[in-house]
Structure 1
């Protein structure tokens, strides 16, 4: 396996392939990224060495630690670099640079060097990714006329770390909302359920995916990663373990359904005049008082003078705007009413000036960015509108969750999206005083800190907790050790509040690694700080599944069959994550309510919920791997 990248995802992916799947990995990194730790034999343009495995993916106790990947340092992944890294004889290549253009250029070169190579490409641009998949697969067929990339497991897979991690990040910010993983047409929902009360029975849904650790009061806490024994997190438990577990929450699979393309969130205030965004509450009350006073004066004039009501109202308005003749020689009632009308006119003048200024300011900012409404509450404060924040914002609005964004760069990726969705944005540094207050953090339901700086996310979380101690906080943190320390400290300081930490690379690496191993990963669900994968597997060639019943094929803690593809082999879609064709037979889809006694046949295709190690064991290659040079 060859991994090319310039950030933490490349190193975590290399560690994932080496430690979880036991593959030989060559890691290509920029020359200036870091010095080699152990210089070995020389190589073209750069140096070879070893890097230690990621701490977050360390081998369990009692298992030998995997040897680190072989490292090639090079500025650009051009043809010579890829040849030196062994792409011509590799099984798979992952291009996970942050620059989409660099990944595209390297993919075209790699496909020419090895038509049978399995390509996994990291792209943020979705449309470009769809076209690139078709182009590279067609290029493989042209280079090898008898080659079918999908049948030979050499197809191209385009993934986005932002799309992979966004559902889990968005779901983490909402208490009581189902965890959601969406991969194009497939929607998976997992629900965290607290322990049932006395005399109550827990609803397992379609199946129980996990038993939460002893830190059940904060099921997303990272402390469980250091807990062991029966009180620690258990993924894919059997029925006996679920029945024996007392006082522990569960994660259950609730529903799976096909959905269409993501629809734009409804525009806030599109159905009515946005008066609240134009005028403040005090100004609206002042205007209401003025109108009531004018009405009272018009009624009094009508009753005292006996004029027609419309004429009485007209005379009152003339008095208010000081354009009527003085009531000299008129009855006393008329003179008093004129004096009161003049007084009301004096009060009206500053109110009209204030209304004009507020409306002018609102219209000037309406074409730029919306401001948070004054009465907003129960919303999610989203810090950072980079590529991750933009995807999370889209997910939150799809769930119709009110959001207020905070971004220091007006030209960030997600600012245009926020403007299109009419989501309020506060431009400023979250560490500056008054920025979070402008986002109404004191009335917020949750804080989602997704900036690229761990310290900035932590500082914002601590400040928000100082304002609202029970605020739900979700932080994007890369280092697991740092995340664990932060979680423990915040848990002690605020025992009644929920704290969650998420790493984008931690959530995205399993999907990239699974695609490199030749499996179609439909999605991933974060359970505490571990991940459950949902993958499509052909039963043929797997003795753990073939000829076994659904019950017999279930291995607790490793994998579980949760759905069966009922379409005939010739009518199956090559990618279950894609949308079904128009006019397709709805009965030829996935069946989720499987009979425990159903015997899996070689021609069947199933959807599995599996741990990373379980999926690696299930689809491990036959024979011992070749010795390392």
Structure 2
């Protein structure tokens, strides 16, 4: 794997590929990293001698500067790091793009990524490309162009066999699901599958007579040190049994007293977002006419009715005709009452005076109605009585994507933004989301966003100090508030997290960097579009993948129960869509077509269902198990046969 970039995402992506997937990685970075800070080198991974030794040794022999053999016989595979001012053709050749399986271009500049992608596709048509771009439309066109170039360069190649497809991702898009899940469920350990957000939930051991917590699937049995009071989640001590991934029913029953990890869908169960629309679409009258204006109109109408009744009583005229004459006098259309009785003349004068009062009222009503209709494109204010919502600070590149994801989940949101021309302000206006314009560090801004009655606070501005200051102030107003901060520096984020957790032990606090949240999605795309994501379980990792049954004897013709290999893989869902209608990438966000429900995947799969060749399934697998299914390592022994 080759990773090219100029910011923290490149190094974290290299670490993700190296630590989670066990891949050999070459990292290409600019000579000077002063702009984004020096980061510690990625520690080498130790692989003990196994059946992989022969294949790994041969691979190392073909790789320049491949690795070293440690004193205990293990193979050290450090990340190979190179420096180049830009990803030129010479730099990409030196990095070994011609022999690489995948290339990630994660420079902050879109033009640099596009230029390097065109060069890399020419050097290696079979190369799997993962490109960082914010522009979605440009990304779609670039994917088609590079995939077409790969097909032209390799004539006769089956398109289905060309897993070198191009994937264009945005760090904002990939981090948004995790940030949204943090606001809803308090965790960023999520996997996106066909529009659903899935999370791994840790459950304490059920007591005697208690029913185990429900979930889509049981992923693991936890060790006894899961809830470490020192803060090292899942730390393993000597003599303590570690987590057991993908256990069978017998193992779960035998491990009484140990917690479990279950797969659940992230959903929002709080109050729905208030509907605020204009007239003609179910709007309240108060949005068009103010209260004072309605009282003025009611007073004028009452005066007109009283004058019509008096005219009817004094003149003895027909009530309908008396009302008609009164309206003519009101609008100064009737003839002067010269020679008429005194009562008629007085009524005409009084009606004219009421007409003079009506004129400014009509003008005010017209102006307010016009302003209300223009308000359809203006920013809304948080409604009275709003509670249980999410306060989102910052409508930049990241905040915009998170706002869209939160609204897809029907979560009420109040945004706070200092710049009225920020990137996400038009989206908030279109989604009818209340926005408070102002500096979050100024007094009264967070109060205007109703932070004292909020469910969670997402501080996603580009300034770490601003996010921290807002979080601390929000904690003073609402000590139980769920807080998630976007912090760039990992050491700073760890210190903030531990301090806030110690100061507010009952409240949930998370500190995350966008590059850390985005790296798993980029790494999964580099492994192939079948990889949906990874979720850590203590010191181990579970991978989620979409796999077509055809060509895999471990699944084809077997039932779901028979295809389950404990400790290796487990079928957790079935794609019910027809092969021609399937989405090529289940991990990608669903298109914005108004359908917010996730379709296609059947999660409650019967154990007796027989898997067919045309079926596509979603798996939970260990690294070794998935590597065996993808043909990346020799098959291991089946635990059920021993």
Q: Same fold (TM over 0.5)?
A: yes
| Count of residues in Structure 1 that have an aligned counterpart in Structure 2 | 575
Is 1:52 the equivalent of 2:60?
A: no
Is 1:164 the equivalent of 2:174?
A: yes
Structure 2 residue matching 1:173: 3-state secondary structure: helix
Is 1:105 the equivalent of 2:127?
A: no
Query: Which residue does the alignment assign to 1:575?
Result: 584
Is 1:496 the equivalent of 2:485?
A: no
Could you tell me whether the CA contact under 8 Å between 1:510 and 1:612 is conserved in 2?
A: no
- Write the distance in 2 (CA, Å) between the matches of 1:313 and 1:234: 88
- Write the distance in 2 (CA, Å) between the matches of 1:537 and 1:291: 68
Instruction: After TM superposition, give the deviation of residue 118 of structure 1 in Å.
Output: 1.8
Is 1:13 the equivalent of 2:13?
A: yes
Query: Which residue does the alignment assign to 2:632?
Result: 621
Q: How does 1:207-226 map to 2 (within 5 A)?
A: 207-209=217-219, 223=231, 225-226=233-234
Could you tell me whether the CA contact under 8 Å between 1:164 and 1:523 is conserved in 2?
A: no
Instruction: After TM superposition, give the deviation of residue 3 of structure 1 in Å.
Output: 0.6
- Write the distance in 1 (CA, Å) between the matches of 2:416 and 2:73: 45
Is 1:369 the equivalent of 2:379?
A: yes
- Write the distance in 2 (CA, Å) between the matches of 1:529 and 1:473: 25
- Write the distance in 2 (CA, Å) between the matches of 1:13 and 1:201: 40
1:252 to 263, 271, 293: 263
Question: Structure 1 residues 395, 359: CA separation in 2 closer, same or farther (over 3 Å shift)?
Answer: same
1:138 to 115, 129, 148: 148
Is 1:506 the equivalent of 2:495?
A: no
Could you tell me whether the CA contact under 8 Å between 1:560 and 1:610 is conserved in 2?
A: yes
Could you tell me whether the CA contact under 8 Å between 1:11 and 1:54 is conserved in 2?
A: no
Question: Structure 1 residues 147, 483: CA separation in 2 closer, same or farther (over 3 Å shift)?
Answer: same
Could you tell me whether the CA contact under 8 Å between 2:456 and 2:482 is conserved in 1?
A: yes
- Write the distance in 2 (CA, Å) between the matches of 1:523 and 1:391: 19
Structure 2 residue matching 1:53: 3-state secondary structure: coil
Question: Structure 1 residues 291, 409: CA separation in 2 closer, same or farther (over 3 Å shift)?
Answer: closer
Superposition CA RMSD, Å:
5.6
Is 1:23 the equivalent of 2:23?
A: yes
Could you tell me whether the CA contact under 8 Å between 2:191 and 2:534 is conserved in 1?
A: yes
Structure 2 residue matching 1:429: 3-state secondary structure: coil
Deviations 1:280-321 (A, max 9, x none): xxx63x5566677778878888999966999799999x99xx
Query: Which residue does the alignment assign to 1:517?
Result: 527
Instruction: After TM superposition, give the deviation of residue 415 of structure 1 in Å.
Output: 2.2
Instruction: After TM superposition, give the deviation of residue 247 of structure 1 in Å.
Output: 9.6
Query: Which residue does the alignment assign to 2:438?
Result: 428
Question: Structure 1 residues 516, 58: CA separation in 2 closer, same or farther (over 3 Å shift)?
Answer: same
Instruction: After TM superposition, give the deviation of residue 390 of structure 1 in Å.
Output: 1.4
Structure 1 residue matching 2:469: 3-state secondary structure: helix
Structure 2 residue matching 1:115: 3-state secondary structure: coil
Q: How does 1:221-620 map to 2 (within 5 A)?
A: 223=231, 225-228=233-236, 236=246, 238-239=248-249, 251-253=262-264, 268-269=277-278, 271-273=281-283, 276=286, 284=291, 367-478=377-488, 481-522=491-532, 533-538=543-548, 550-551=560-561, 553-554=563-564, 559-564=569-574, 575=584, 577=586, 592-596=603-607, 605-610=616-621, 615=626, 619=630
Could you tell me whether the CA contact under 8 Å between 2:460 and 2:486 is conserved in 1?
A: yes
Query: Which residue does the alignment assign to 1:115?
Result: 125
Structure 2 residue runs of 5 or longer lacking an equivalent are 49-71, 268-273, 331-341, 592-598, 635-642
Could you tell me whether the CA contact under 8 Å between 2:223 and 2:234 is conserved in 1?
A: no
Is 1:124 the equivalent of 2:134?
A: yes
Could you tell me whether the CA contact under 8 Å between 1:210 and 1:252 is conserved in 2?
A: no
- Write the distance in 1 (CA, Å) between the matches of 2:519 and 2:558: 31
Question: Structure 1 residues 266, 203: CA separation in 2 closer, same or farther (over 3 Å shift)?
Answer: same
Could you tell me whether the CA contact under 8 Å between 1:2 and 1:92 is conserved in 2?
A: yes
Deviations 1:389-422 (A, max 9, x none): 2121112222222222122333433222222223
Could you tell me whether the CA contact under 8 Å between 2:293 and 2:364 is conserved in 1?
A: no
Deviations 1:204-242 (A, max 9, x none): 3442346789999xx9x9946354578998765544565
- Write the distance in 1 (CA, Å) between the matches of 2:188 and 2:232: 21
Could you tell me whether the CA contact under 8 Å between 2:5 and 2:29 is conserved in 1?
A: yes
Structure 2 residue matching 1:508: 3-state secondary structure: helix
Structure 1 residue runs of 5 or longer lacking an equivalent are 39-49, 257-264, 320-329, 581-587, 624-629
Instruction: After TM superposition, give the deviation of residue 35 of structure 1 in Å.
Output: 10
Query: Which residue does the alignment assign to 1:44?
Result: none
Instruction: After TM superposition, give the deviation of residue 456 of structure 1 in Å.
Output: 2.7
